[in-house]
Chains A and B, each alone.
Chain A
Amino acid sequence: MRSKLPDAASSRKMAASSAVVAILASIWLCSSIAADASGSSSETTMHTNNWAVLVCTSRFWFNYRHMANTLSLYRTVKRLGIPDERIILMLADDMACNSRNKYPAQVFNNENHWLNLYGDNVEVDYRGYEVTVENFLRVLTGRHESAVPRSKRLLSDEGSHILLYMTGHGGDEFLKFQDSEELQSHDLADAVKQMKEKHRFKELLIMVDTCQAATLFNQLHSPGVLAIASSMKGENSYSHHLDSDVGVSVVDRFTFYTLAFFERLNMYDNASLSRLFNSYDPNLLMSNAYYRTDLYQPNLQEVPVTNFFGSVMETVHTDSAYRAFPQKNTPRETRIRTGNTAEDDSRRSILTDMTKAECPFTRIVSSLESKMETVGNLDSLVNYGLVMILPVLVVSVWLST
């Protein structure tokens, strides 16, 4: 017969072993939490909105093409769905009303002058001398003075896809800002790293159209960043053509072929990023377009360009009004597809998965509710119930007389 009372030695042993187990369990728990935290990458959050930061870093009349580049991309991005409130446009803005402009208040990106880029709904957020490296970095990191209005802030969150487009004059690991400052590659990398720490983006596409643009990405480390440049180290990016009427080159090659790709698209096309990248022909560009995908996990062939260049969202249609607290999806909600593949669903799965109480009463009630929802319109049920009153009444009256 075993003795019921353990002696002192065995009790100490049990205490020690339980302490070890507890420590191990806590270590495992902490590590799992840490792994979870570090591993909480873009797969667990949902893509909620799209932002675009379009920067033209040059000024003066002979840099007309840089402004035309930026305005063309602005127009494309707006056409594909990103609204003005989610576009930060930084331009020197001294071309359209320049005294040397033969076509006042008009900016073209092609010598056929088909498209006036400077229409009547261009919203420039930072213009003139406000386009500085400091402001640019403030926009990226979100560290503003309190008096800066909301329209000048990048109000992205952890579900945002951001397109960052920069054009101007650049060189080996730098980008010239308004002929007086420069943005270096480590500045950019630091800013992107801060953005990642502050969960200011889910995915970031940086597109740079300058000479030796690829060197600007040398210091980037943050995950979720896709970078594309117009030329490699040692190569220049050239302008496309000269408009003899305006007198200056009106567009750069890289941007020209990018726009050519996008002009064939509308909002509902799901052309992939790999198609965009493969459309750059080095012979036409006269430089080697370079893209960096080692920091970007999703497969480029499955990412539609509208993930960055447009604002195409998956909408969930509900019958009821917007509730304050999230609830489990009922079968009534239908999803409207906008040409996305099924693989995107897994990345866009909703994080909040409320665990239901396991009380049998609530289970019965919820099963009744689900059955009622499958019945059809609740109003018709109520109407049937009301109509049923009459025969029940007649029968009961007849029975009791």
Chain B
Amino acid sequence: MATANTEEEKSKSEQQKNHGGGGGFTRWAVLAVIFRLILIYFPGNLNLSSRPEVSTPLTSIRRLAEGYWLKQSSMSPYAGSMYHGSPLLLSVLGPLTVKRTILTYSVANAELKGSLVTFYADLISGILIRATGWKLQMTYRKSLKSLNLLNKSTDSGGLSSGDIAALVYLWNPFTIVACVGLSTSPVENLFTILTLYGAATGIAPLAAFGWVMATHLSLYPAILIIPVILLLGYGPDAPPSKLFRSKENGKVGDDTSSQDIIFSWGRVLHLLVWTSMWSVYVLVLCSISVKQHSSLQEMFQRTYGFILTVEDLSPNIGVLWYFFAEVFDFFRDFFLIVFHSNILFMILPLAIRLKHRPCFLAFVYIAISSMLKSYPSVGDPALYLGLLGLFLDELADMQFSFFLFCGYVGVSLLSPVMHNLWIWRGTGNANFYYATAMAYACFQIVLVVESVSSMLNHDRKLMKLSASKLQK
């Protein structure tokens, strides 16, 4: 919060204007923090870390504890196909999973609960989302002002979109479940949000670090390199450049003539240099960490190879496990390629269409990858629903919003029920659970499609408004 304050005076004035809103934000944020602490130190066992929605083979804290124990027993942490994460995470989170008797109060679960790592990760993520939202909103208002479309009605007296997004992220039940359920997805989300924050504020080393760490922890944020490059090149989200060019053609001698958006290759080069430096550093650290009992090749095979080849078919809220349980071995590779290129093929068209809105492009990429990734968990909707809050100004006219809200609530309630019916009571079967997973995928598709179309509608509206203003 402090860095965002000292950046521009406008934000200061805005903060004074929104003092009431700011007070509201801090109130709700503190309430969210207290609620999480209550849930974390809840003496009963909520049993969240054993749910398949929370703990996948990639995010499970028990697997991390097992990997740490294997490492302490002078074996490779990837032995036996339990742990599939980064060795650096082992060094950081591993010692916290060991039960110690020094603490005087009893901790119900592994000591990670008492160490509040996921709690701090969520807190920092919330702060970063708020800062990103401020930056985005400032750019939005600046661009609207240059188009002379800014009027009092667009200045909402309440919370800004950054505050709303941060509150949505902190109060999202998915985030709370991922935090209390001790999965490692809050840490991954933290690095993704750090990437977006660094790119939005133009700090290339921060964005590079966030991207390298996010890709290292889970493979899919690799596609975020494109929005990050666009963010650093073009700047944060703005209406299409056609608008500014047509305005310049219409008006002559404007004082805000620096609206010509050129792609700054310098910053992108800066980003690439920092990316390579950070990735070399991370690779060297990993190779040192696994040198004793394992090798870098085994690490890549067990982390990235595991993600790409979908070796573990235990149920989760994704759609891949059921499919690959029944596909024949002959076609397995083909369908692996199909599923992964489903994500890859959407990169280019979306990048072309939404290149003037890179932050929103990042949101769409995250939503698509969380739908089609091999092991989705509850931390993924936590991330993109929080990011969705950043664009509330533009997405105000989104269709089907109530339908989606009800759908998400219904799926998140029915999915554990179906899992219980299938596994514990035996009165259901895998189709029950997979039905909720498919419904969840459908809702995600609807969300993505509707948000993209409403964003494009917003841009068209802006074009119409500015064209009508020019004609005046």
Which A residues are within 8 Å of any B CB, using their own CB? 319-321, 369, 372, 378-379, 381-383, 385-386, 389, 393, 396-397, 399-401
Contacts and interface: CB of A to CB of B under 8 A. Distances in A.
Interface stretch (B288-296, B318-326, B398-406): B288-296
Q: Which 7 A-B pairs have the closest CB atoms?
A: A396-B205, A382-B289, A385-B285, A382-B91, A321-B74, A397-B203, A397-B206
Given A382-B91, A382-B288, A389-B209, 4 more contacts: A321-B75, A372-B288, A389-B281, A397-B205
Contact of B285 (A320, A386, A401): A386
27 contacts: A319-B74, A320-B74, A320-B292, A321-B74, A321-B75, A369-B291, A372-B288, A372-B291, A378-B288, A378-B291, A379-B289, A381-B288, A382-B91, A382-B288, A383-B91, A385-B284, A386-B91, A386-B92, A386-B285, A389-B209, A389-B281, A393-B205, A396-B206, A396-B274, A397-B205, A400-B203, A400-B270
Interface of B: 74-75, 87-88, 91-92, 203-206, 209, 270, 274, 281, 284-285, 288-289, 291-293
A360 B263 CA distance: 46
What is the interface of chain B mostly: helix, strand, loop, or mixed? helix
B288 A385 contact: yes
A382 B90 CA distance: 11
Contacts of A382: 87-88, 91, 285, 288-289
A378 B205 contact: no
A320 B87 CA distance: 18
Contacts of B203: 397, 400-401
A215 B341 CA distance: 86
A144 B60 CA distance: 55
A158 B274 CA distance: 60
Contacts of A399: 205
A320 B293 contact: yes
Nearest to B205: A396
Contacts of A400: 203-205, 270
Contacts of A386: 88, 91-92, 285
A382 B86 CA distance: 13
Contacts of A320: 74, 292-293
A334 to B, nearest CB: 15
Contacts of B75: 321
Contacts of B291: 369, 372, 378
Contacts of A385: 281, 284-285, 288
| Most chain B CB neighbours (cut-off 10 Å) among A369, A382, A389, A397 | A382
Contacts of B288: 372, 378, 381-382, 385
A396 B277 CA distance: 12
Contacts of B206: 393, 396-397
B79 to A, nearest CB: 9
A397 B201 CA distance: 11
